[in-house]
Amino acid sequence: MSSKSHNFVIGFCFVILFGNAVSVDYGTALTKSLLYFEAQRSGKLPPNQRVQWRGDSALNDGKDAGIDLTGGYYDAGDNVKFGFPMAFTVTMLAWSVVEFGEKLEAKKELTNALNAIKWGTEYFIKAHTQPHIFYGEVGDGNSDHECWERPEDMTTPRNSYKVDEQHPGSDLVGETAAAFAAAAIAFNKSDSSYSSQLLIHAKELFDLAIKFQGQYQTSISVAGQFYSSTGYEDELLWAATWLLKATQDKTYLDYINDQATSSGGTRSMFSWDDKYVGAQVLIAQNLLEKKFPGDESLLNQYKKNAEEFICNCIHKGNNNIKKTNGGLLWWQPWNNLQYVTAATFVITSYADTLFATKNSLQCATGTVESSNLIMFVKSQVDYILGENPKKMSYMVGFGTNYPQKIHHRGASIVSIKKDRATVSCNEGFILWFYKNAANPNILDGAIVGGPDISDNYNDSRSNFQQAEAATANTAPLVGVLARLTE
């Protein structure tokens, strides 16, 4: 047998034994995931901007209120700055650094991750003009959605909307307090003074959220149709958990203990609207690491709920999450992948804590080791990155077969760097939205809504349920990819 034939046989056997011998390039996916946030930037872009098809935009934000509200992120394929999902995005990016900072540093992506966090926190600092005033949105979804314009050409209203003592928004400011506290931990090693500044904002916003309670869409009604909150108790718990982690102040532990009787129960998802799983997992990790002083009996309920959610995700529980035939976790037709990426993050994070503390997970159908959890996470991430029935990567720019016509204004219209001619509100629809061609700009790292329950995907700009990407989709995946990258 020639050496060439011998190698072929070895390779063939490897494929039979272990499936596809080509491993997924998590490192490249990680790099692209962080590039995505640069494409979503609003405001004046920095000199080190890597996504060159974007330009400065929304430079007058906040002028209607007499303040500077430039910066921050556009949430998805439109040009509105929705504070609620933006804060969740920043919290998850910060958690990625807190949990997997060393992995990010090893791949030379830690600076990019911190820059992504800071682009959000710098905007939140501007938006937090007084201890009990926070601006939670710039722009209006209805008027924005009537136009198809590059952010650089934007002509739609840029009204600023706030919450305060008379107009509460406990969910919005609670989530932003969590983002500030998580970011404070993320920056603690590299910039302790900035970390301290972030912590002051976190404490002030938590105080506002607790003392003046209410759902934010009652105060910012224009947000209700797009990012309506189902309640604020989860955000208050989430914020308290992050503030405890950042400060070790017993005040926050007391709050967590006080809420234990209504710990959220076993949730069906973790998302920008429902933070219970995130808080439960953080508390469970602290229990495993024996970081809580004194009586832990009340806190064990959080751990039980966190573990039941994970068991249900990996199909070892009493109320398992649906899956597609191709093996992808399935919640709903609209932007399903946001729930997949968020779930994979908490499972990954918890798996590492189980391993470090020499514990295993007890599910309804048996014991699960941390290595089994990581294998499950890999199956979900690999599906997203192309190991699926359609052999399509649902991360834009990754691999050779990925969505070409994603629902995204900036990506779908020729870059202002190439053609400075203004594309007006209606022109964008006529010239670009309805154009049967690939987007002229590649939105690297964007995670689209993803396939339907039958593993099918319709690559069309008008298919916003499947073809729109959002910052909340990609943010949790940053940490997961860092963890999987060897």
What's the one-letter identity of residue 405?
A: K
What is the distance between the alpha carbons of residues 179 and 86, in angstroms, rounded to a whole number? 9
**Which residues, other chains included, contact 353 with Cβ-Cβ below 8 Å and sequence gap of 6+?**
284, 285, 288, 289, 359
Query: Is pLDDT of 204 > 90?
Result: yes
Task: Read off the pLDDT of each residue in 199-206 and give the average, rounded to a whole number.
Answer: 98
Residue 35: in which H helix or E strand, if any?
helix 26-39
Task: Read off the pLDDT of each residue in 363-367 and give the average, rounded to a whole number.
Answer: 97
Q: Give DSSP secondary structure letters for 240-258.
A: HHHHHHHH--HHHHHHHHH
Task: Read off the pLDDT of each residue in 408-431 and give the average, rounded to a whole number.
Answer: 98
pLDDT at residue 276, as a whole number: 98
Dihedral Cα 337, 344, 91, 288, nearest 10 deg:
160
Percent of the chain, pLDDT > 70?
95
Query: Is pLDDT of 14 > 50?
Result: no
pLDDT at residue 261, as a whole number: 81
209, 165 contact by CB (below 8 A)? no
Task: Read off the pLDDT of each residue in 38-51 and give the average, rounded to a whole number.
Answer: 98
Kindly tell me the burial class for residue 413, based on how many C-beta atoms sit within 10 Å of its own C-beta (0-12, 13-18, 19 or more). buried
Pairing between strand 160-163 and 366-368?
Answer: unpaired
pLDDT at residue 288, as a whole number: 97
Q: What is the mean pLDDT of the chain?
A: 95
312, 320 contact by CB (below 8 A)? yes
Query: Is pLDDT of 5 > 50?
Result: no
C-alpha distances out from residue 373 to 42, 185, 367, 378, 476, Å:
37, 26, 11, 9, 16
In DSSP terms, which residues pair with 3 in a beta bridge?
Answer: none
pLDDT at residue 4, as a whole number: 35
Residue in this structure with the two tokens 């692209």, named with its chain if needed: 32
In our burial notation (b when 16+ CB lie closer than 10 A, e otherwise), range 354-371 reads: beeeeeebebeeeebebe
pLDDT at residue 85, as a whole number: 98
pLDDT at residue 23, as a whole number: 85
Dihedral Cα 75, 80, 86, 89, nearest 10 deg:
10
Q: What pLDDT band is residue 443 in, cutting at 50, 70 and 90?
A: very high
pLDDT at residue 297, as a whole number: 85
Task: Read off the pLDDT of each residue in 413-441 and give the average, rounded to a whole number.
Answer: 97
CATH topology of domain 28-485: Glycosyltransferase (1.50.10)
Q: Which of 182-196, 289-303, 382-396, 425-439 has the lowest mean pLDDT?
A: 289-303
Q: Which of 7-21, 66-80, 172-186 has the lowest mean pLDDT?
A: 7-21
Q: What pLDDT band is residue 22 in, cutting at 50, 70 and 90?
A: low
pLDDT at residue 267, as a whole number: 97
Q: What pLDDT band is residue 401 in, cutting at 50, 70 and 90?
A: very high
Extract the tokens encoding 315.
């199909």
Q: What pLDDT band is residue 292 in, cutting at 50, 70 and 90?
A: confident
Query: Is pLDDT of 372 > 90?
Result: yes
What's the one-letter identity of residue 411?
A: A
Residues with a catalytic annotation lie at 407
Please write the tens of the pLDDT for every residue from 331-361: 999 999 999 999 999 999 999 999 999 999 9
What is the distance between the alpha carbons of residues 377 and 207, in angstroms, rounded to a whole number? 37
pLDDT at residue 384, as a whole number: 98
Q: For residue 166, how many other CB atoms are within 10 A of its CB?
A: 8
Please write the tens of the pLDDT for every residue from 268-287: 999 999 999 999 999 999 99
- pTM for the model stands at 0.95
pLDDT at residue 217, as a whole number: 98
pLDDT at residue 156, as a whole number: 97
Query: Is pLDDT of 56 > 80?
Result: yes
C-alpha distances out from residue 154 to 150, 245, 437, 446, Å:
6, 40, 23, 22
* Nearest one of 34, 70, 73, 36 to 53, comparing CA atoms: 36
Alpha helix segments (H runs only) across 133-266 = 141-145, 170-186, 192-211, 224-227, 233-247, 250-258
